A and B are shown apart, each in its own frame.
Chain A
Amino acid sequence: MSEFSVWFEQTFKQCYCEKGNLVDQDRFSEIVQLVLDNEADEESRALFEEKIRTCVQSSGRFEKEKGLRESIQQKLTEFKKDIPSDLAQSIKNSINL
């Protein structure tokens, strides 16, 4: 088991109480970000997906996190500054290309 998987498993466990209820939303949110960023390894992802499949609370929270993140990302991407028309050429001129 990789160092990351160990950390992931421990951190993920800490999101839940002994009865298996989701009690630490902030920690869970951190875990979700890792999964959505594709930074969780296969083992960690499997652990996460298993819980999402079997826990309504976790599944709902995951969907909300995912929706929020996609909406924010989409809005941020919409705002793109147009590049000055002469920038590429002036870069090339400055190095005599």
Chain B
Amino acid sequence: MSIEVALRHRFADKTLDIRFTAPSPGVTALFGRSGAGKSTALMTIAGLLRPDACRIVIDGEVLADTAAGLWLAPERRRVGLVFQDARLFPHLSVAGNLRYGQRRAPPGAIGFDEVVDLLGIADLLGRRPHTLSGGERQRVAIGRALLSQPRLLLLDEPLSGLDGARKAEILPYLARLKAALRLPMLYVSHAPDEVLRLADTLVLIKDGHVVGTGPVAEVAARGDLPFARRNDAGALLLGHVMGHEAARGLTRIEGGGAVWLVPLLDRPVGATCRIRIPAREVILAAKVPEAISVQNIVPGTLRHIEAETARHSALVEIGLPDGTLLARVTPDAIARLGLSVGGPVLALVKSTAIEVL
């Protein structure tokens, strides 16, 4: 099943033309700067904004098709929406807010107790929204949207109003929801860490157009796309825990078809995990160096060199058996090593530089 979105709208100063297809279920992140058109796309899918032309299909169900004169009212779309500012009803308790959508929805698979438990809001049920912290409010808003038994959950930068600590408090809940509920989600964000942590599919939006779309690990490692050209560029590898070497204080993780040693983790063998390897932490070598502290020396194929003229560096894509690694080095280093596209290269990564998400 899939989510098909196509919309066109002319604003006074810009034109949006966004079209993408995303798998369902799964988390699809719409990533781009503010003003790129991400939120407009989300509001169109929810039905709260009517563009010049659009076609929205979710799992075969057509919600809008302006060419055919079809436009379903938002209250009849069964699309859950979580706003940046929570928008809890101030005159209702937390339980009242949670039940608001549930009462108006057909009986569904998502139960009240399950949602309350998944989001850890059992202690808040009797409270009023204005007594909640920002993070608690957002958790209740997510629960409220889920209990309306949506066929699609839309999240409009749900964490952007929160500080770092609050963000870290909510991200695990979102990861749990993703694992527990087989629900398609569209997640609008301009924060790379949220995208890398949660998304399965990444849709890059720039100036009202989709500039790249695909599985998150692939799009994140494309040197020609804006996601990888950021200051803290890095590759994302999907993998799992292979085993622990307690004596050495190390854990072995398989990711992208290679084996990585990272500082000992408290995760069971076989558990899936995501690792991020920052491009500036990757050292390139033409042959295996001796007597060096680096734990990970991984062979790969040099696939592409993206020149970054403004910062006098280059972003190098290194093909692994089942993934891509990014390295940011100087053009001089590439020349000194005599590296060329298509040739072999060794990537050197310190264990402590690998971020396990």
Co-complex (A, B): no
Using CB atoms and an 8 Å cutoff, list the residues of chain A in contact with chain B.
none
Using CB atoms and an 8 Å cutoff, list the residues of chain B in contact with chain A.
none
